[in-house]
């Protein structure tokens, strides 16, 4: 018997590329590690590895007979998350089914009323799951009033009360010191099957920026980003290199260089690691959070690849995204990173709410320029995720959303129109852009 069984809801995978770009689910790994530290037995299945296999889910739930099933999903994987919840509930009706992750956090009122979902975890999941487990695991009385009273004391949950209303317990304050968390329980996942097994987090929390297409600040309770101690991060990296034999680490932070002093200290710690073989690392950040000196130090410390979100090639459209960067900053960041021999990826989106034929042609031109400066280009379809300003705009304005289900919120479907262009016009302009820029891979999520 297992106390808590965790599932990572999978994306829809095209045949033949099942494990491309796949990395272990760090969020579930942290939750599992915290639950274990609190004395609970935990198992986990990352269904991105196996695919959504109903028989497997039923078999695991039946065999492990967990007190709690926890499911992590984001918007694209939410329908699969609900299917897992249905399967688990049908197999083990007395098991508590808990949904968490960015999508459920933002849409908790809708998620809580799903028939197979007993509880929703809003925001940071580690301590909410631990506290929920302390109420549910090993419970042998049937006193519903006492159960409800104890659940009400757990911050960061939502559920349907006996009178049919959705109840949200008070917001859970953020973990102030991320160093108090154990390392993610990577042993629960088949590291050898991931294309990118070495993902590590340097920081956690909200973001001081306010990009209109990003939901980060709807998911976290506040905007403050909490950094781990660089020494502890370097120790985790060393463990992955030496004990797991990994040769590449990917820092999974959106804005790796947000705190210059911390990142510089981390690079010195990384340089001091004595690995038995050559290794390197990659990261993502904003073009306004780097300069030549910093990029030179990153490269010196083994950074082999860096991703920058550039988003568009029109300064006017860029200003309207709320990203608060300039095309010149993008030029400078890309050319400096390329000069220090990093693989540079500049990611763009298509389309933005105010795009016109002219701004899309400017985007094509800027993509070519950025590539000349040394970057690879990726492009994703703009997706109005719940919790973003773009989602609010689609609700309030004439922007049209054409999606039948959440699984089309995958950045690979053109689901949002613009104020000036219809879907047929956008499709045509996208084809033109792909041709003009000579993009091989059409869309990346």
* Interface positions with ligand SF4 (CB under 6 A): 207, 209-211, 214, 216, 254-255, 286
Q: Report d(CA 299, CA 301) in Å as an integer.
A: 5
DSSP string for 38-106: TT--EEEEEHHHH---HHHHHHHHHHH--SEEEEE--TTTHHHHHHHHHHHHHH-TTSEEEEESHHHHH
Query: Nearest-CA neighbor of 227 among 251, 249, 205?
Result: 205
Q: Report d(CA 193, CA 185) in Å as an integer.
A: 16
**Collapsing DSSP states into helix, strand and coil, what is residue 138?**
coil
319: region left, alpha or beta (phi > 0 left; psi from -120 to 50 alpha): alpha
Cβ-based nearer residue to ligand SF4, 157 or 318 = 318
Q: Are 332 and 340 in contact (CB under 8 A)?
A: no
Which residue bears the tokens 């986990």?
A: 44
Tell me the longest C-alpha to C-alpha distance in the chain.
Answer: 68
Rounded to the nearest whole angstrom, what is the least distance from the CB of residue 303 to ligand SF4 in the complex? Answer: 19
What does DSSP assign to residue 445? -
Rounded to the nearest whole angstrom, what is the least distance from the CB of residue 209 to ligand SF4 in the complex? Answer: 4
Rounded to the nearest whole angstrom, what is the least distance from the CB of residue 92 to ligand SF4 in the complex? Answer: 37
Rounded to the nearest whole angstrom, what is the least distance from the CB of residue 143 to ligand SF4 in the complex? Answer: 44
Cβ-based nearer residue to ligand SF4, 258 or 270 = 258
Q: Are 52 and 83 in contact (CB under 8 A)?
A: yes
Cβ-based nearer residue to ligand SF4, 82 or 216 = 216
Give CA angle at 382 (387, 250), nearest 5°: 80
Cβ-based nearer residue to ligand SF4, 154 or 252 = 252
Cβ-based nearer residue to ligand SF4, 129 or 346 = 346
Cβ-based nearer residue to ligand SF4, 209 or 406 = 209
Rounded to the nearest whole angstrom, what is the least distance from the CB of residue 388 to ligand SF4 in the complex? Answer: 9
Rounded to the nearest whole angstrom, what is the least distance from the CB of residue 308 to ligand SF4 in the complex? Answer: 11
Q: Are 69 and 88 in contact (CB under 8 A)?
A: yes
b/e map of 107-138 (b: 16 or more CB within 10 Å)? bbeebbebebbbbbbbbbbbbbbbbbbebbbe
Cβ-based nearer residue to ligand SF4, 250 or 255 = 255
Half-sphere exposure at residue 108, Cβ-oriented, CA atoms within 13 angstroms: 25
Rounded to the nearest whole angstrom, what is the least distance from the CB of residue 12 to ligand SF4 in the complex? Answer: 24
Cβ-based nearer residue to ligand SF4, 9 or 325 = 325
Cβ-based nearer residue to ligand SF4, 23 or 204 = 204
Rounded to the nearest whole angstrom, what is the least distance from the CB of residue 19 to ligand SF4 in the complex? Answer: 26
Rounded to the nearest whole angstrom, what is the least distance from the CB of residue 224 to ligand SF4 in the complex? Answer: 12
**Collapsing DSSP states into helix, strand and coil, what is residue 388?**
coil
**Collapsing DSSP states into helix, strand and coil, what is residue 351?**
coil
């Amino acid at each position: 018997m297992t106390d808590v069984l965790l599932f990572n809801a999978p994306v829809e995978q095209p045949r033949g590329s099942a494990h491309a770009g796949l990395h272990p689910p760090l969020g579930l790994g942290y939750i599992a590690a915290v639950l274990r530290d609190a004395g609970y037995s935990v198992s986990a299945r990352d269904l991105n590895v196996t695919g959504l296999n109903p028989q497997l889910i039923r078999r695991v739930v039946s065999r492990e007979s967990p007190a709690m099933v926890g499911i992590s999903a984001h918007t694209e994987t939410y329908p699969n998350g609900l299917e897992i919840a249905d399967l688990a509930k049908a197999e083990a009706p007395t098991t508590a089914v808990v949904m968490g992750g960015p999508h459920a956090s933002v849409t908790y009122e809708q998620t809580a009323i799903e028939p197979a979902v007993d509880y929703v975890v809003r925001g940071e999941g580690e301590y909410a799951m631990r506290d929920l487990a302390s109420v549910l695991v090993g419970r042998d009385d049937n006193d519903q009033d006492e159960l409800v009273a104890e659940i009400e004391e757990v911050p960061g949950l939502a559920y349907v009360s006996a009178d049919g209303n959705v109840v949200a317990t008070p917001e859970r304050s953020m973990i102030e010191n991320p160093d108090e968390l154990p390392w993610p329980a990577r042993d629960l996942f088949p590291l050898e099957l991931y294309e990118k097994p070495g993902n590590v987090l340097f920081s956690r929390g909200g973001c001081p920026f306010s990009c209109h297409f990003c939901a980060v600040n709807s998911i976290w309770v506040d905007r403050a980003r909490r950094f781990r101690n660089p020494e502890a991060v370097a120790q985790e990296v060393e463990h992955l290199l030496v004990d797991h034999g990994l040769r590449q680490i990917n820092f999974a932070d959106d804005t790796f260089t947000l705190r210059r002093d911390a990142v510089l200290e981390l690079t010195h710690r990384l340089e001091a690691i004595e690995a038995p073989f050559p290794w390197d690392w990659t990261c993502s950040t904003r073009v306004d959070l780097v300069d030549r000196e910093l990029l030179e130090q990153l490269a010196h410390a083994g950074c082999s690849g860096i991703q920058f979100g550039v988003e568009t090639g029109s300064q006017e459209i860029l200003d309207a995204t709320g990203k608060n960067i300039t095309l010149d900053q993008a030029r400078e960041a890309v050319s400096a990173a390329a000069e220090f021999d990093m693989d540079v990826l500049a990611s763009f989106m298509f389309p933005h709410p105010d795009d016109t034929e002219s701004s899309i042609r400017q985007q094509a031109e800027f993509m070519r320029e950025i590539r000349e400066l040394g970057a690879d280009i990726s492009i994703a379809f703009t997706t109005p995720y719940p919790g973003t300003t773009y989602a609010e705009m689609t609700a309030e304005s004439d922007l049209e959303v054409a999606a039948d289900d959440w699984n089309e919120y995958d950045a690979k479907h053109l689901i949002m129109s613009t104020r000036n262009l219809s879907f047929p016009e956008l499709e045509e302009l996208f084809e033109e852009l792909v041709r003009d820029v000579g993009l091989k891979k059409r869309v990346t999520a």
